Amino acid sequence: MTAGAAPAATMKAVVVHGPGDLRVERRPVAPPGPGEVLLAVEWGGICGSDVAYWRHGGSGTAQLKAPLVLGHEFAGRIAALGPGSREAALAAGVGRIDLGLPVAVYPAAPIGDATLPARIAGRSNLHPRVRYYGSAAVFPHTDGGFAEYKVVPADQLLPLPDAVDTRHAALAEPLAVAIHAVNRALTAFGPLSAGPVLVNGAGPIGSMVVAVAKRLGARHVIAADVAAAPLGIARAMGADAVVNTAEAALPDGCPLVFEASGAAPALAGVLRATAPGGVLVQVGNLPAAPVSAALGDLITREITWLGSFRFVGEMSDALALLADGLSVDAVMTHTFDLDQAARAMAVAADRTTGSSKVMLRLGGAGGEDQSEQNK
């Protein structure tokens, strides 16, 4: 192992043990193995799935069977190099790596060597079995990056452009989700300038969809939500107009719609807002359990309804957009230290706090913001 200053023997990690049971506990710092690096993690962003593990002991169909280190949105710097890690990075197209290099981390790794059918060749997000950092989808669970250190394979590193610090890079993963959704729309819809774009749900992903759609050519983007605070964030991210659906109906006749709320009761209204022959991209995660929703407009309006799941190579696109000046600052509403993880999770779960993306300062200082609330 090649190392700079030796890391401590133990580290702090944010560990969920069950519903309502979140602990900051000490764990040993593991050395990197062949083809791996040890990352000194600096920043992490709390996702809805992290909140779900804390509140319910599961996220979707993934249920906790053992304690899990949370976090799949994180970035930091290389603290130690395992044997052959430089060679592994070069072979994977990552490029040259060395101690101190700031990186984001691609959080997914397929399990097994199954060959995808030709119709989805290259769409690694649709691989039948995937390990994802901070996920209980498989057992043993895959610990995430909400810790002071994290061992990761060198081929999952994404070196940061000079203009992107680790705080902003921690949001490359959710920004990639938004880019993937817009790319799905481009495939089915064509140029975004063809008509108004509606984004229903102005949480972190929805607000990032707004920003990406504007950057990729949308002339008029309407953001909708049931609360004023996220609509203000969507405005800051580039929305031309907003609709508070607690007070008014969605607009009619939108040829392209992104459903980013993941709320099943919203589906009927979103389908009604989609123009005949229009495209609806479902990027918000819908419940795994049966739901009741009026879907008649899907047929009578011949709407093309597309699913959008995670991303493929769009994390590199996300870092490139950040380097090119795309701002996600409005989304990063709150910042907490690692020791305050329980409080951070509670704020992220409570929409009355005005939170959007709650950031965890896990170590280091890249792009540090000292405020608990950045507004």
Q: What is the pLDDT of residue 271?
A: 96
Domain borders along the chain are 2-171+328-361, 175-307
State the amino acid at position 225 in one-letter form: D
Terminal C-alpha separation, the chain: 43
Condensed to tens digits (0 to 9), the pLDDT of residues 196-225 reads 999 999 999 999 999 999 999 999 999 999
Average of per-residue pLDDT across 227-244? 97
Q: CB-based burial of residue 220 (10 Å sphere; 0-12 exposed, 13-18 middle, 19+ buried)?
A: middle
- Whether the CA torsion 44, 46, 19, 229 is positive or negative: it is positive
- Residue 94 DSSP class: -
For residue 311, give both structure tokens.
């991303």
Which pLDDT tens digit goes with each residue over 295-315? 999 999 999 999 999 999 999
Q: What is the pLDDT of residues 242-279, one digit of tens each?
A: 999 999 999 999 999 999 999 999 999 999 999 999 99
Tell me the pLDDT tens digit for each residue of 163-195.
999 999 999 999 999 999 999 999 999 999 888
CATH class, 2-171+328-361 region? alpha beta
Q: Which of 44, 43, 40, 12 is nearest to 27 (CA)?
A: 12
Residue 5 has pLDDT above 70, yes or no: no
Beta bridge partners of 358: 334
Is 370's pLDDT higher than 50?
no
pLDDT over 60 at 128, yes or no: yes
Judge whether 36 and 78 are in contact, CB under 8 Å: no
Q: Which residues of 242-280 are buried (b: 16+ CB within 10 A; e: fewer)?
A: bbebeeeebeeebbbbbbbbbbeebbbbbbebbbeebbb
Burial class (CB in 10 A: 0-12, 13-18, 19+), 290: exposed
- pTM as predicted: 0.94
| Topology of the domain comprising 175-307 | Rossmann fold (3.40.50)
Give residue 60's pLDDT: 83
Contact by Cβ (8 Å): 254, 222:
yes
Common-topology check for domains 2-171+328-361 and 175-307: no
pLDDT recorded at residue 213: 97
Residue 34 has pLDDT above 90, yes or no: yes
Q: Which two tokens stand for residue 370?
A: 């000292």
pLDDT of residue 13: 98
Q: Is the pLDDT of residue 366 over 80?
A: no
Q: Is the pLDDT of residue 56 over 50?
A: yes
pLDDT value for 375: 42
What is 293-338 written as a DSSP string?
---HHHHHTT-EEEE--S-SSHHHHHHHHHHTT---GGGEEEEEEG
Structure confidence at residue 293 as a pLDDT band (50, 70, 90): confident
**What does the alpha-carbon distance between residue 113 and residue 259 come to, in Å, rounded to a whole number?**
33
pLDDT (tens digit per residue) in 6-15 = 677 999 999 9
> Do the Cβ atoms of 222 and 281 come closer than 8 Å?
no
Mean pLDDT of 148-172: 98
Average per-residue pLDDT for the chain: 93
pLDDT at 4 over 90: no
User: For the residues 366-370, what does the mean pLDDT come to?
Assistant: 53
Q: Pick the more confident residue, 132 or 194.
A: 132
Cα gap 300→280, rounded to integer Å:
14
